[in-house]
Chain A
Amino acid sequence: MSRARRPAEETDVFDAIPPQLLLTLLVLSPGCVFLGMALLWLSGVKLSENTIARLANATYVFCGALVMGLAGSLWWADLASVSAGSGNWYEVHEFQIPLALFVDRLSLPMLGLTAGMTGLIAVFSRRYLHREAGFLRFFLLLHLFAFGCFLVFAAGSVDLLIGGWEIICVTSTLLVAFFQQRPEPVKSALRVFATYRGCDIGIVTGAFFLHHWAGSTLYQSVFKGDWPRQSLAGETLAAGDATIIGLLLLLGAMGKSAQVPFSGWLPRAMEGPTPSSAIFYGAISVHAGAYLLLRLQPVLVASPVASGAVVLIGALSAVHGTMVARVASDVKTSLAYSSVSQLGLIFVEIGLGFSWLPLIHIVGHAVVRTLQFLKAPSALHEFHHLHAAAGGHLPPTGAHYGRLLPPRAQLWLYRLALDRGHHDAIIDRFLTGAPRKFAQWMNRIERQLRLTPKIPKESSHG
C-alpha cells in the first residue's frame, strides 16, 4: 500500500471500477450462474448442450477478465492487497463472522489459475461429454466448484474459507459418482467424502482455536504485513497455541491434498469423468490444502513442531507418491500418485518457510498436470508413438535409482508400493475398523438389553 503509478489528478478505467467490485463479481459470477441454471432445471426448462456450453464459456471469459482487471488495479495503484467487506455476516454476542473478501499476491495467481483452468475444462468438456446423460449436471457442478474455489482463494477469513472448502468437498464427491449407474464410482465417492469430512474436523476445530486464542480468523487481524512478508500480529498466539492450530490445519490440508496416510482416496476419485479429474485432482482442488498452509504460514512459522510436521508429512508423501506412481498399472492412478508426490514437495517447501517457491510450484504443477490428465485417454497411443520414435528403447525414468538398492529391498519396496503403503488397510483396520467393531459389540448388548428393536431379517426387493 504505497504510492500510485500515475498522477493523483489522472482518472482511468481502474478508478471507475473499484477493485472491491471486481472481486465481489468474480466470486459471485459462477455462483449466480449455478443458481440460475439450477432454478431453470427445477422449473422444468430444458437447456441445450450449446446453450450450457456457451454460458460456461462466457462465464469464465468474464471471470478471466475480472481477474485481469483486479491484477491491473493492484498494479496500477501499487497496492499489495485489496479487501472487500460488508460488515459481519452474522454476529452473536462477541462472536463475529465477517463477510470479507481479500486478494493479494498469493490469492491473485490462484484466482487466475481457477478462472483459466475452469474455462479450459468447460471448453474441453463440451465435446468430451457430448450427448452424455449428465451433461447439465456436470456443468452445474463445475460452476458450483468454481464458486467454492473462488471463495477459498478470495476469503478474507478462515471461516469464509471453510465455506468454499465444504462446497469443493460436496462437488468433488458428486462428480466422482458422476457415472452413478456403476457401483464402483458410488463406492469411491463415499470413500472420498469420508476422507474429506474426516480431515475437515481439523480445519473446523483449527478455525475455532484460532478464533479462541487470536480473537479472530480475519487474516488482516491475525497477521501483519503483506504477503510474503507476513507475521503474526503482536502477541496473538503463543508457540503452544500455534502448534495446536498448525497441526489441526495440517490435518485439514492433508485430506484435501491427499497426503499420507490419506492419499488412498485420490486414485479412487479418478472414477469421475476425465475433465473433472483434471480440474479437481490435477489443477485446483488438491492444491487447496497447500494454499491453506501457505495462507496461514505465519502460524506455522511460530511453531517449529507444526513446521516440522508439515515437512515430515510432505517428505513422506513425496517418497510414497513417486514409489506408487512407478508401479501403478493405469495412467490415471499413476498421474494421481505423481500429484501426491509433487504436493508432498510443495508441503516441504512450505514447511521450510519458502513462500514464492511453493506458489510457483503450485501454478506450474497445476498447469502441467491438467494437460497430462486431459491427455490421459490417449496416453497409450502417445506412448507407443514415442516408443517407436525412440527406436523401441524407451527406458523408464528413475530406474537407475532403484538399481542402487539391494535386491531384497527392491522387492520389499515393490510390494509396499503395489499395496500403496498399506495405508488404506491401516485406516480401515484402526481408524474406522475399531469404532465399527465397538458398534457391533454395543449393538449386540443393546439388543440383549432390549434397548434397541430387534433387526428383522434382510429382505430383497425389486
Chain B
Amino acid sequence: MAELTGPWLSLGVGVPLAAALAARLPATRPRARVIAVTASAASLLLSLATVRELAGAGWAALSEPWIPAVFQATALNAVTMALFAALALVTLISAPRRDSDPHSVAHILILMAGTLAAYGAVSLPVFLGGWILGLTPSLASAGREGNRLAVVESAASTLFLAVGMLLQTSSPAGACMLLVLAAILRTGLFPFHGVAASRLDKGPLGFAGLLLSAQLGVFLLIRFALPMFPESARDARSWLCWLALFTAIYTAVMGMVERSPRRLLALVLVSQSAAIFAGLVTARPEGVMGALAQWIVLGFTSTVMISIFRAVEARLDFPLDGERLLGLAGPMPRLAVFFAVSAFALVGLPGTLGFPGEDLLIHGVLSAHPVIGFLLPTAIAINAYHLYRLFSRLFLGAPAAAWAAVPDALPRERWPLAACLVVLVWFGLMPGQLVALRAFAVEAVVTVAGR
C-alpha cells in the first residue's frame, strides 16, 4: 500500500492531545484559547494535507510511513477528518470568554483527538481507543452534571462496541448486532434520541454540538459494521433504514411540544442525523452522496447555530428557555442573518449545499423505499418549521430595553461563522465540486453496503 509523505494522521491526533495537556498547565483563559486554536488549526492543516495527498494518489488508501498499523487515510475518512477539525476550530475561536477556561478547552481538544483517531483507525481496536478517548470528557462532565442518560449511553455504546469487537470471529452475527447497536446508541436513533437532547440541555453547548457533529455512530456503521459483516449487514439494512426514518419523523413530531430552544435544536439535529443514517444505509449512490453532503451541512450549520446560542446566552447572561420572543434581530442583525441562513440551509435552502444534499437524500431514500420514504420529506418539512420557530424566538419580537446595547457579532464570531456559510454557499452553487470530491467515498460505501 502506498504511504503518505509524513505521519499527518498521527500528528493530527497527537497535536490536539498534547495541546489538551498544555492548556491545563498555564491555567489562564487567554493562553488556553491560544493554545487550543493553534493546535486545532495545525490539525486542520494536517488533515487538509492528507486530503491533498490522497487526491493526488487517485483516492487510493494511504498508510502512514512509520506506524502503518494504526492509522490509514481513505476516501471515506480524509474529508471527514478535515471537516471535524474545521468544526472544532470554529467552535474554539467563536467560544465566549467564559467557555474558554482551560478545563472546557481541554475537553474539546480531547474530543477532537479521540474523534480524529477513530476516523483514521485502521482497525476496530484503534477505533475503540479513539471512541473511548473522545467520550472521556463527555463522561466526566455528564457525571458532574448528573446527566444519567448520557453516562448510560456512553457506557452502553462502548460496552457494545468492545464486546462486538471480541466476538467478531466467534460469532459474526452477534458481533454485527452489537456494533449496529453501538451505532444506533451513538447516533441517537429511537428510543435513544433523548440522550442528545439531554447533552445539549445540560452540558456545555460547544462540546455537545461537536459530539453530535462527529457522527461517529454513522461512521462506525459504514467503516466497520457493514464491511466486516456483509451477510448480516445486508439483512439489517432495510430495518435500519426504517428505524432511521421513524426516528427522523418521531423526533420532528416530538419537537412540536418542545418549549426549550436547546432541546428543540437537539431534536432537530437528531432528526437530521437520522436522515443521514437512512441515506447511507440505502446503499444507493444518490442516497449515500446526499447523506455525505448533509453530513457536511449538519456539521457547519449546527456549529453556527450552537455558536450563536452560546453567544446569545453569554451576552444576555441567562440560559435560553421558554416561548418568549427575544427580539434580538435589532441589536444583533448579523448574528440573526447567520442563524437564519444556517437554519434554512439545514433544511434545504437553495443556494446552499443543503439544497442538493436534501435533494439527493430524498431521491435516494424514496428510490429505496417509495412508500415509507415519504416520511423523510415530511420530517424535513417539520424540522424547517421548528428551525423557523427557533429563529423567531431568538431574533423576532420586541427586544427588552436593556438589550439595546448588546453587541452584534464580534470579530472572533463574525469571521469563522461567515467562513462556514461561505463553504455552504460555495458548494451549494457548485455542488459538482463536492460530488467529485466525495465520489470515491460514495463508491466505497455503496460497494461495502450494497454487497
Which A residues form the contact surface with B (CB < 8 A)? 42, 88-93, 95, 97, 148, 151, 159, 162-164, 166-167, 170, 173-174, 177, 180-183, 186, 189-190, 193-194, 197-198, 200-201, 204-205, 208, 211-212, 432, 435-436, 438-440, 442-443, 446, 450-453, 455-456, 458-462
Contacts and interface: CB of A to CB of B under 8 A. Distances in A.
Nearest to B338: A42
B431 A90 contact: yes
B260 interface: yes
Contacts of A212: 366-367, 370
A200 B382 CA distance: 11
A462 B388 contact: no
B448 to A, nearest CB: 16
B404 to A, nearest CB: 12
B5 interface: no
B398 interface: yes
Contact of B325 (A159, A163, A186, A200): A186
A453 B257 contact: no
B177 to A, nearest CB: 21
A95 B381 contact: no
B163 interface: no
Nearest to B289: A92
Contacts of A163: 350-351, 355
B285 A89 contact: no
B329 interface: yes
Contacts of B360: 92, 95
Given A439-B257, A462-B402, A95 B286 contact: yes
Interface string B361-375: 011001100100010
Contacts of B399: 181
A435 B418 contact: no
A257 to B, nearest CB: 18
Contact of B362 (A174, A204, A432, A455): A204
Contacts of A148: 350
Contacts of B403: 462
A97 B322 contact: no
Contacts of A190: 385, 388-389, 392
B260 A455 contact: yes
Given A435-B253, A443-B257, A189 B194 contact: no
Centre residue among B256, B316, B403, B442 by max chain A CB count within 10 A: B256
Given A173-B388, A438-B253, A95 B285 contact: yes
B149 interface: yes
B272 to A, nearest CB: 15
Contacts of A170: 344, 349
A186 B396 contact: yes
Contact of A200 (B321, B374, B381): B381
Nearest to A447: B194
A453 B285 contact: no
B65 interface: no
Interface in B374-405: 374, 377-378, 381, 384-385, 388-389, 392, 395-400, 402-403
Contacts of B16: none
B354 to A, nearest CB: 10
A450 B257 CA distance: 17
Contacts of A446: 194
Given A182-B398, A200-B381, A453-B147, 12 more contacts: A92-B286, A92-B442, A166-B350, A181-B330, A193-B388, A204-B362, A439-B253, A452-B149, A452-B194, A459-B321, A459-B322, A461-B318
Instruction: Please classify how large the interface on chain B is, using the bins under 10, 10 to 19, 20 to 34, 35 or more.
Output: 35 or more
B194 A180 contact: no
A97 B362 CA distance: 14
Contacts of A432: 256
A30 B336 CA distance: 23
Contacts of A197: 381, 384-385
B30 interface: no
B349 A166 contact: yes
Contacts of B351: 163, 167
Contacts of A436: 256-257
B334 interface: yes
Contacts of B286: 92-93, 95
Contact of B400 (A151, A180, A443, A462): A462
Contacts of B319: 459
Contact of A88 (B349, B400, B432): B432
B363 A211 contact: yes
B261 to A, nearest CB: 12
Nearest to A455: B260
Interface string B102-116: 000000000000000
B327 interface: yes
B254 A443 contact: yes
Nearest to B257: A439
Contact of B355 (A166, A189, A462): A166
B337 interface: yes
10 contacts: A42-B337, A90-B432, A162-B359, A181-B399, A201-B381, A205-B366, A212-B367, A436-B256, A440-B257, A461-B318
A392 B326 CA distance: 50
B392 A189 contact: yes
A178 B432 CA distance: 36
B356 A177 contact: no
Contacts of A159: 359
Interface in B254-306: 254-257, 259-260, 263, 285-286, 289
Interface string B412-446: 00000010000000000001100100000010000
A193 B377 contact: no
B392 A92 contact: no
B324 interface: yes
A183 B325 contact: yes
B198 interface: yes
What 5 pairs across the A-B complex have the smallest Cβ distances? A452-B194, A93-B285, A163-B350, A90-B431, A453-B198
A174 B392 CA distance: 10
Contacts of A88: 432
A461 to B, nearest CB: 5
Contact of A451 (B191, B285, B366): B191
B209 interface: no
Contacts of A89: 356, 431-432
Contacts of B191: 451
A195 to B, nearest CB: 10
A438 B193 CA distance: 17
B24 interface: no
A402 to B, nearest CB: 39
Contact of B378 (A164, A174, A201, A461): A201
